Amino acid sequence: MTQFSYTIQDELGLHARPAGLLAKEAAKFKSTVTVESGAKKGDAKKIMSLMMLGAKKEHTLSFTVEGEDEEACAAALEAFLKENYKDMIKIKDEALKPYQVSVTIS
């Protein structure tokens, strides 16, 4: 059994997009991946299970990985969360910037 934790930094918490990407990443491995947030537990390979955790910003997710490829799985998921959550925050921030419009009146 391998365990690690990740604290959510995104203002929107664990919403549909990162939950879907996380489930897709976890599904690449044979190991069972359980995620806990407070008293709730979920299967990291199922998007709805992840969404039901209701994890918000600053919530810590605890991952437990068990199986034949647990070490590789845990390392990949931890790296995925660190890199992709950072990228998702950047993408969201860029999308929310107001458009700059230049108007010339003659």
DSSP code for 72: H
3-class DSSP assignment, residue 95: helix
Find all residues with CB under 8 Å of 11, minimum gap 6, and list them.
Answer: 57, 89, 92
Catalytic residue, from 4, 10, 12, 15: name it: 15
15 is annotated as an active-site residue = yes
The pair of structure tokens assigned to 94 is 């860029």
Contact 63, 77 (CB under 8 A): yes
Looking up tokens 């990443």 gives 25
- Residues serving a catalytic function are 15
